[in-house]
Amino acid sequence: MKVDLTVNGKDITADVEDRMLLVHFLRDVANLTATNVGCDTTSCGACTVLLDGESVKSCTVLAAQASGHQVTTLEGLAADGEMHPVQRAFHNEHGLQCGFCTPGMVMAIVSMLKENPHPTEEQVRQGLEGNLCRCTGYHNIVRAALAAAAEEKVTA
């Protein structure tokens, strides 16, 4: 079937199988490979992207369902060569070890801060319940989320 998605502001039209998952569309059709397939069972959050601005697990959305909608992947965050505040915070706070969960973590935090710009540490931990880090590097990830929230507060 023909699908038409806006990915990181760019219109992408393609003829795909009806059963194609959004994550496979992003990786194999749009050639955007920051979005990882982790558990493939809606548990780990490695495939988190924004659909119409809200975090979703792209292994559990059909490309067909996303047709006509806006998708943002990690590649779409940096603007004019400048890292997004959440990306910068991950860098500064050493919010990653192996890096596999990082794209999903970053996208989940971007969505979380949009809904709740000034979360408490407890709210950050609750908000990341759908993202697993197999290196168990959660403390620095939570610090990065809080640092990004603080930075946005300053710049807002």
Q: Which residues bind another protein (CB under 8 A)?
A: 1, 17-19, 21, 24, 40-43, 45, 48, 51, 54-57, 59-62, 64-65, 108, 111-112, 127, 129-131
Task: Give the nearest distance from C-beta 134 to another protein in angstroms.
Answer: 13
Residue 6 or 92 with smaller CB distance to another protein = 6
Residue 31 or 41 with smaller CB distance to another protein = 41
Is the separation of the CB atoms in 15 and 1 below 8 Å?
A: yes
Residue 32 or 61 with smaller CB distance to another protein = 61
Is the separation of the CB atoms in 111 and 54 below 8 Å?
A: yes
Residue 24 or 143 with smaller CB distance to another protein = 24
Helix (H) or strand (E) holding 106, with range, is helix 102-115
Is the separation of the CB atoms in 119 and 149 below 8 Å?
A: yes
Residues in the chain: 156
HEC assignment per residue over 107-142: HHHHHHHHHCCCCCHHHHHHHCCCCCCCCCCHHHHH
Task: Give the nearest distance from C-beta 74 to another protein in angstroms.
Answer: 15
Task: Give the nearest distance from C-beta 91 to another protein in angstroms.
Answer: 24
